[in-house]
Amino acid sequence: MPRRTLLLLLRFAAAFGLLAWLAAAFPVYPLLERPVTAAANALLHQRAQESRELMLVQRDDRWVYLYDLRLGEQRSVIERPMHAHGFIALIFASLVLATPGLGARRLAGVLAIGVPLVFALCTLMLMSDVALWEAETIAGLGLEAPRVGPYWIPLGFVAGLHRTAAAGLLPVVLWALLAVRPAPPRA
């Protein structure tokens, strides 16, 4: 393994270890999940006889998602423990911190591209969770599934990435393609 690659891996491991420790010691994940939850809630499909609302709330010392689902006369409030989709943001931040030689211009470009992509990926993963919760609840109530689920967006591809934890690899792949390339020679 080339020395440069080994140093990058060591720097990444150190940065990720530090950020993971900070996320465990302080309420970092709820801070990351709040805007993701708000985005997933804003994208919920509403129509006559159907209403949906997604919230992130604190119950004692833990954080949970509440999904309020109303289909006709049936209402269910689904509670699920918070799943830290924000680990994708920790991986991305660790990659940024580990990459040597990012000047201000390249750093700005990487952040301008990476932050929205990470946010979108985290939001899509939560949306795939919500779609699964709704499908399980509807099946448990013995109801017919609505023609359109909680989102207009097909989420099958995200569900596969999410369930296998492959979504965590996406920032690494993007980083390999976009950020780790050597800088062009200076004139």
49 lies in some domain: no
Give tens-digit pLDDT for 109-135: 888 988 998 899 899 999 999 999 999
98 lies in some domain: yes
User: Region 7-12: what's the mean pLDDT?
Assistant: 84
142 lies in some domain: yes
In the chain the first and final C-alpha atoms are separated, in Å, by 30
149 lies in some domain: yes
- Run of H or E residues at 136: helix 104-141
Q: Which amino acid is at 93?
A: A
Q: Report the distance separating Cα 40 and Cα 35, nearest Å.
A: 9
79 backbone dihedrals φ, ψ, rounded to 5°: -115, 130
Residue-range definition of the domain harbouring residue 141: 3-28+35-43+85-178
75 lies in some domain: no
Number of domains in the chain: 1
- DSSP character at residue 163: H
80 lies in some domain: no
Give tens-digit pLDDT for 146-175: 777 888 888 877 777 766 666 666 666 666
Residue 185 has pLDDT above 80, yes or no: no
Q: Quick one: what percent of the chain has pLDDT higher than 90? A: 40
61 lies in some domain: no
19 lies in some domain: yes
Q: Report the distance separating Cα 81 and Cα 30, nearest Å.
A: 11
